[in-house]
Amino acid sequence: MKQPRSGQRLAIAAALVAVLAAAAGAPAGADQFSKRDALAFVQKIDAIHAHAGGKSRAPLKTAISEREVNAYLALDGAADLPPGIGNVRVSLIGPGRLSGSALVDLDVVRRNQKAKGSLLDPMAFLTGRLPVSVTGVLTTHAGEARFQLESAQIAGVQVPRMVIDELLAYYAKTPGTPKGVTLDSSFPLPDRIQQIDVQRGQAIVVQ
């Protein structure tokens, strides 16, 4: 089977993660993940992509485990991530709740900002590669998704939502969304996905 571009896989992984952030505390080591789990993730995403491009309109449900997502991100997904993001992990808490994990180079974001923040801007005091943690609720319906933030931390310190909005504004830029997105924004799910049901330890992708 011809594999879709890695960006297609990352788009669906991003929908599962909702945001790319880093968990407070030490990230899990890549050695605890198996190539078999990473390959299972790739095969499932390829099947989702193939179903979206096929003629069949029969409903398809695909269960993707937290372990499969993390194995792919740890072993194969690094090349697909934007500059300045690494060690991405997800935790599917359910029902609907999830947290994301990554090490974010905030200097990369700052260098690419058109305008420097004022002294009142929390981003003005955040430098270097720092762990950022985000937890929230992902709701999806009829091909649209929205992430409701519950908490966010950088290096273990609670930060205001505006800081996460700045990171999203930078990292979520696409040709269709040149200004990125905010946490209030709904975003379309790729590959005719209608919803993603986040359960404990797995997500059910419904096309």
- Residue 25: what pLDDT? 30
List pLDDT tens digits, range 59-94.
899 999 999 999 998 898 877 777 788 888 899 999
Residue position matching structure tokens 């594999």: 3
For 4, how many CA atoms within 13 A lie in the half-sphere containing its CB? 21
Other CB atoms within 10 Å distance of the CB of residue 24: 18
Q: Six-digit token pair at 1?
A: 């089977």
| pTM above threshold 0.85 | no
| Backbone torsions φ then ψ of 204, nearest 5 degrees | -100, 115
List pLDDT tens digits, range 108-118.
777 765 545 54
Domain boundaries, the chain: 6-206
Task: Work out whether strand 195-199 and strand 202-206 pair parallel, antiparallel, or are unpaired.
Answer: antiparallel
- Does the pLDDT value for residue 6 go beyond 60? no
- CA-CA distance, 65 to 133, in Å (whole number)? 20
